[in-house]
Amino acid sequence: MSANATSNAKGQNGKKLGTVRIAPGVLATIVQATTLEVDGVIRMGDTSSASLSRIFNRDNNDGVKIEVKEEKVYADLYIIVDKNANLAQVGKQVQGDVSTAIRHLVGMPVEQINVYIQNVE
């Protein structure tokens, strides 16, 4: 599954140059980096529910699950938050910052960002 961002650039002959394809891993990297910059986020959580799946999971996205449907981004984020932070505020900040980053850096619309606070430390 890859994310598509259609290029609007035109060559010298006026024809469309082509399509830009962005791997979901790139989206996950952008989401993770943006999330970790939010005050109150200590680290990413675990997307695997079972410990055995963690052992055999080679595609570890470190707290991020990304899906692209009909050229729209859906993200599930699992985070560990500072125990002194306002949890609701941190969650909303993560949603806003991640949505902005995807729209600005990739140019894709964001349909949904779910934030799961797995623990506080």
Q: Where are the domains of the chain?
A: 3-7+25-120
pLDDT tens digits along 21-42: 888 889 999 999 999 999 999 9
- Residue 53: pLDDT over 50: no
- Residue 10: pLDDT over 80: no
- H helical segments located in the chain: 24-36, 51-56, 87-105
User: Can you identify the CATH homologous superfamily of domain 3-7+25-120?
Assistant: Cation efflux protein, cytoplasmic domain (3.30.70.1350)
What is the reported pLDDT for 18? 84
Q: Give the chain's mean pLDDT.
A: 86
pTM of the model: 0.81
Q: Which residue has the higher pLDDT, 19 or 65?
A: 65
Q: How many whole angstroms separate alpha carbon 36 and alpha carbon 34?
A: 6
pLDDT tens digits along 69-108: 998 999 999 999 999 999 999 999 999 999 999 999 999 9
- Residue 112: pLDDT over 60: yes
Contact 36, 77 (CB under 8 A): no
